[in-house]
Amino acid sequence: MGLPAFLTCRDERSRGTTVFSEVAAQSVVNVLMLSSIYILVALGFALLLTVLGILNFAHAAIYMVGGYICYELTVDVGFNQWVSLLVSTVIMGLFGLFLEKIFFRPFLDDMNRIVVVSLALIIILQATINVTVGSYIRRIPSFVPEVLRFGGVSISGDRLATFAIGSALLAAVIIFIRKTKTGLQMLAISQNSEGAALQGIKTQRIYAVTTAIGCALAAVAGSLMGAILSLSPFMGDIMLVKAIEIVVLAGIGSIGGVLLGGLILGAVDGILPLFMSGSATDLTGLCIIIFILLLRPQGLFGREV
pLDDT in tens, 58-86: 999 999 999 999 999 999 898 999 999 99
Look over the chain and give the mean of its residue pLDDT values, rounded to a whole number. Answer: 84
Angle made by CA atoms 128, 91, 145, in degrees to the nearest 5: 90
Can you list the residues of the chain whose pLDDT is less than 70? 1-22, 150-153, 253, 278, 302-305
User: How far is residue 106's CA from residue 113's CA, in Å, rounded to a whole number?
Assistant: 10
Domain boundaries, the chain: 34-233
pLDDT digits (tens, 9 = 90+) for 175-228: 998 899 998 999 888 888 888 888 888 999 999 999 999 999 999 999 999 998
**pLDDT (0 to 100) of residue 3:** 46
Phi then psi for residue 56, to 5 deg, are -90, 90
* Percent with pLDDT over 90 in the chain: 34
d(C-alpha 45, C-alpha 49), whole Å: 6
Identify the pLDDT of residue 108: 84
